[in-house]
Structure 1
Amino acid sequence: MTTSGTTLRERKKLRTRQALVETAISIFGERGFDATPLDALLEEVEVSRRTFFRNFRSKEDVALAAVKELWSAYLDVLDETEKSGPLADVFRDAMLATLDRMDENWYQRFPATLRLIDESPSLNGHTLLHCAETEAEVVRRLGEPSLELRLLVEFCVAAWRCALDEWLPDCAPGELPGHVRRAFAAMDKSLRLRA
């Protein structure tokens, strides 16, 4: 046991997981997600299928690690957040707090992951499913589902996607929160646009 409270086995498992994630992003980025078999990743990291499947459910799962890490942290932050005032502000503030928790390594992997998603129909579909599951979980954690709550969650996800579109050309880590603030601020005005 170390002073950080993790065993040697836990640290080794974490290193293997990190190697799989980082190598997956690199190798899928070079060769294409759909064109790269899982065995190529396993060979590159020198792990067995058994080891891989102890860490991830699928090839898609490892490719989307940065996305899943973000939304897992978001749900944790949302649970910790006091829910008072406009819910759109609660959702925005939870996203800003989540982004603040992400480390430099995540900020390097995340844009590469988004590019992989954009280039792969199968990853795109997997991401849409994960997004729908996360949205449903947000609604569930806030209580009784209603049309208004479901719409608000959809609007917040749309604001997040617009913030990402604004951020993606440069991908400067410190700039993503500003794009999130601007997208959420524009949400109310956009709903009141007139023909």
Structure 2
Amino acid sequence: GGGESERAAGWGLTAEGLEVVRAANALGVLLDLSHTSDATAKAVLEASRAPVAWTHSNARALAEHPRNVPDELLDRIKENGGIVMATFVPSFLEDGVRRATDHGVPMARVADHVEYLAERVGARHVGLGSDFDGIAFAPDGLGDAAAMPALVAELLRRESLTEDDVAGIVGGNFLRVLEGVEAAADGAGAAAA
């Protein structure tokens, strides 16, 4: 498959790529679409019988970035049973942000993406994927994991999200996806036996 670069934008999956998807499903390996092109993500969603994840991506409708997920693919994650995990990467949160010196991105912008994703695909298909280990700067007020309670409080202030929704978003939904991946593998083993 292809990555998120323009050069790879039209690539889906090769025959070998389809075999990798099947093998990952059989072995209980979670497929992460965060660095894939839209065409590759679409092909994986069509081929996978297990839930998949975007472990650190946001909604492209709110921030135009090739690593963010367009609505067309968001709609498919619900059918797949997978998850989109909102990331804290500033350039994925807001258009025009490229460097720490551009301007600060408020923590509330993470909650905006979470809320949009939950409204689009249902809260049970949303999680958090901070990418703290991969970013040079974080949204204002969200510099490290110690600030997570502030983000949880922000999510709880959103009228569209219930306490149960937020509990799922901060971890329960990801566990559900992992269980689904494991169940798909168990099903493959039973079918092969």
TM-score (norm: length of structure 2)? 0.30
Higher strand share: 2
Higher helix share: 1
Larger radius of gyration: 1
